Structure 1
Amino acid sequence: MEKDQTLKNAMDEWARVTQDPEVLMTYKVHEESPLDKKSTLKKAEKQGEKRGIMGVALRMIQKGMDNKTISELTDLTEEELEQIRKH
Protein backbone atom coordinates (compact mmCIF):
# COMPACT_ATOMS: atom_id res chain seq x y z
CA MET A 1 0.00 0.00 0.00
CA GLU A 2 2.83 2.40 0.92
CA LYS A 3 4.63 1.58 -2.35
CA ASP A 4 1.49 2.53 -4.28
CA GLN A 5 1.45 5.93 -2.57
CA THR A 6 5.17 6.44 -3.27
CA LEU A 7 4.63 5.59 -6.94
CA LYS A 8 1.63 7.91 -7.14
CA ASN A 9 3.63 10.73 -5.53
CA ALA A 10 6.48 10.20 -8.01
CA MET A 11 4.07 10.20 -10.95
CA ASP A 12 2.37 13.37 -9.66
CA GLU A 13 5.76 15.07 -9.31
CA TRP A 14 6.78 14.01 -12.83
CA ALA A 15 3.51 15.39 -14.21
CA ARG A 16 4.15 18.69 -12.40
CA VAL A 17 7.72 18.91 -13.67
CA THR A 18 6.89 18.12 -17.29
CA GLN A 19 4.06 20.68 -17.41
CA ASP A 20 6.17 23.63 -16.27
CA PRO A 21 8.90 24.46 -18.81
CA GLU A 22 10.96 26.40 -16.26
CA VAL A 23 10.89 23.58 -13.72
CA LEU A 24 11.63 21.05 -16.47
CA MET A 25 14.67 23.06 -17.60
CA THR A 26 15.94 23.25 -14.01
CA TYR A 27 15.42 19.51 -13.64
CA LYS A 28 17.34 18.79 -16.83
CA VAL A 29 20.23 21.04 -15.79
CA HIS A 30 20.53 19.30 -12.43
CA GLU A 31 20.16 15.89 -14.05
CA GLU A 32 22.95 16.53 -16.57
CA SER A 33 25.28 18.29 -14.17
CA PRO A 34 26.73 15.18 -12.46
CA LEU A 35 27.47 13.64 -15.86
CA ASP A 36 29.25 16.78 -17.00
CA LYS A 37 31.28 16.86 -13.78
CA LYS A 38 32.18 13.20 -14.17
CA SER A 39 33.22 13.74 -17.78
CA THR A 40 35.30 16.80 -16.87
CA LEU A 41 36.97 14.95 -14.01
CA LYS A 42 37.78 11.97 -16.22
CA LYS A 43 39.26 14.28 -18.86
CA ALA A 44 41.37 16.07 -16.24
CA GLU A 45 42.61 12.74 -14.89
CA LYS A 46 43.67 11.63 -18.38
CA GLN A 47 45.46 14.94 -18.97
CA GLY A 48 47.27 14.62 -15.65
CA GLU A 49 48.26 11.06 -16.42
CA LYS A 50 49.56 12.11 -19.84
CA ARG A 51 51.61 14.93 -18.29
CA GLY A 52 53.08 12.50 -15.80
CA ILE A 53 54.05 10.08 -18.54
CA MET A 54 55.57 12.90 -20.56
CA GLY A 55 57.60 13.95 -17.52
CA VAL A 56 58.93 10.42 -17.17
CA ALA A 57 59.70 10.36 -20.90
CA LEU A 58 61.64 13.61 -20.56
CA ARG A 59 63.79 12.11 -17.82
CA MET A 60 64.35 9.02 -19.96
CA ILE A 61 65.46 11.25 -22.83
CA GLN A 62 67.80 13.11 -20.46
CA LYS A 63 69.31 9.74 -19.47
CA GLY A 64 70.05 9.08 -23.15
CA MET A 65 67.38 6.51 -23.96
CA ASP A 66 66.26 6.15 -27.57
CA ASN A 67 62.75 6.98 -28.81
CA LYS A 68 61.88 3.39 -29.70
CA THR A 69 62.53 2.13 -26.18
CA ILE A 70 60.78 5.08 -24.56
CA SER A 71 57.80 4.62 -26.85
CA GLU A 72 57.56 0.93 -25.94
CA LEU A 73 57.64 1.75 -22.21
CA THR A 74 55.34 4.79 -22.18
CA ASP A 75 53.02 4.22 -25.16
CA LEU A 76 53.92 7.70 -26.39
CA THR A 77 54.26 8.06 -30.15
CA GLU A 78 57.52 8.87 -31.88
CA GLU A 79 56.01 12.26 -32.78
CA GLU A 80 55.19 13.02 -29.15
CA LEU A 81 58.72 12.11 -28.14
CA GLU A 82 60.18 14.38 -30.82
CA GLN A 83 58.05 17.24 -29.47
CA ILE A 84 59.42 16.56 -25.98
CA ARG A 85 62.98 16.53 -27.33
CA LYS A 86 62.43 19.94 -29.00
CA HIS A 87 61.46 21.59 -25.72
Structure 2
Amino acid sequence: MLLSELKKKQTAIITKVTRNLDSDSSQPDLIASRLETLGFVAGTAVQVVTKGFFGEDPILIQIGFTRFALRKAEAEKIEVELSHVGAAL
Protein backbone atom coordinates (compact mmCIF):
# COMPACT_ATOMS: atom_id res chain seq x y z
CA MET A 1 0.00 0.00 0.00
CA LEU A 2 1.18 3.54 -0.70
CA LEU A 3 1.31 6.35 1.85
CA SER A 4 -0.90 8.42 -0.46
CA GLU A 5 -3.67 5.79 -0.11
CA LEU A 6 -4.01 6.11 3.68
CA LYS A 7 -7.04 7.89 5.08
CA LYS A 8 -6.97 10.69 7.65
CA LYS A 9 -5.78 9.57 11.09
CA GLN A 10 -4.52 6.20 9.80
CA THR A 11 -1.17 5.01 11.09
CA ALA A 12 1.21 2.78 9.13
CA ILE A 13 4.78 1.53 9.13
CA ILE A 14 7.07 2.46 6.24
CA THR A 15 8.34 -0.61 4.38
CA LYS A 16 10.41 1.16 1.71
CA VAL A 17 10.92 4.30 -0.36
CA THR A 18 10.63 3.51 -4.06
CA ARG A 19 13.19 4.99 -6.42
CA ASN A 20 12.44 5.80 -10.05
CA LEU A 21 14.21 3.52 -12.47
CA ASP A 22 14.99 5.74 -15.44
CA SER A 23 16.87 4.58 -18.51
CA ASP A 24 19.82 6.61 -17.23
CA SER A 25 20.49 4.81 -13.94
CA SER A 26 23.49 7.04 -13.16
CA GLN A 27 21.08 9.79 -12.04
CA PRO A 28 19.97 9.40 -8.41
CA ASP A 29 16.30 9.84 -7.49
CA LEU A 30 16.66 13.12 -5.59
CA ILE A 31 13.13 13.09 -4.17
CA ALA A 32 13.54 9.58 -2.73
CA SER A 33 16.93 10.54 -1.28
CA ARG A 34 15.48 13.66 0.32
CA LEU A 35 12.57 11.71 1.83
CA GLU A 36 15.01 9.24 3.39
CA THR A 37 17.11 12.13 4.75
CA LEU A 38 13.99 13.59 6.38
CA GLY A 39 13.29 10.29 8.19
CA PHE A 40 11.04 8.37 5.82
CA VAL A 41 12.88 5.05 6.29
CA ALA A 42 11.77 1.44 6.68
CA GLY A 43 10.38 0.60 10.11
CA THR A 44 9.26 4.16 10.92
CA ALA A 45 5.66 4.81 12.02
CA VAL A 46 3.80 7.50 10.07
CA GLN A 47 0.34 8.99 10.40
CA VAL A 48 -1.76 10.96 7.94
CA VAL A 49 -2.94 14.02 9.86
CA THR A 50 -5.08 15.52 7.10
CA LYS A 51 -5.35 15.88 3.33
CA GLY A 52 -6.04 18.85 1.08
CA PHE A 53 -9.53 19.40 -0.26
CA PHE A 54 -8.95 19.25 -4.03
CA GLY A 55 -7.20 16.13 -5.25
CA GLU A 56 -6.08 15.41 -1.68
CA ASP A 57 -2.95 17.48 -2.23
CA PRO A 58 -0.95 18.24 -0.08
CA ILE A 59 -0.99 15.47 2.51
CA LEU A 60 0.05 16.36 6.06
CA ILE A 61 2.14 13.52 7.51
CA GLN A 62 3.44 13.09 11.05
CA ILE A 63 6.55 11.14 12.03
CA GLY A 64 7.13 11.29 15.78
CA PHE A 65 6.65 14.94 16.74
CA THR A 66 7.49 16.29 13.27
CA ARG A 67 4.96 17.09 10.56
CA PHE A 68 5.61 17.23 6.82
CA ALA A 69 3.42 18.43 3.95
CA LEU A 70 3.98 16.11 0.99
CA ARG A 71 2.65 16.28 -2.53
CA LYS A 72 0.64 13.25 -3.55
CA ALA A 73 3.40 12.32 -6.05
CA GLU A 74 5.95 12.29 -3.21
CA ALA A 75 3.70 10.22 -0.94
CA GLU A 76 3.30 7.70 -3.78
CA LYS A 77 7.02 6.89 -3.50
CA ILE A 78 6.56 5.59 0.06
CA GLU A 79 5.28 2.05 0.59
CA VAL A 80 3.65 1.28 3.93
CA GLU A 81 1.79 -1.45 5.77
CA LEU A 82 -1.09 -0.64 8.10
CA SER A 83 -0.34 -0.53 11.79
CA HIS A 84 -2.85 -1.61 14.40
CA VAL A 85 -1.37 0.80 16.93
CA GLY A 86 -3.26 4.02 16.12
CA ALA A 87 -1.78 6.28 18.79
CA ALA A 88 1.82 5.05 18.69
CA LEU A 89 3.07 8.39 17.42
TM bucket normalised to smaller:
under 0.3
TM-score of the two chains, using structure 1 as the length reference = 0.25
Q: Which has the greater radius of gyration?
A: 1
From the two aligned structures, give the one with the greater strand fraction: 2
TM-score of the two chains, using structure 2 as the length reference = 0.25
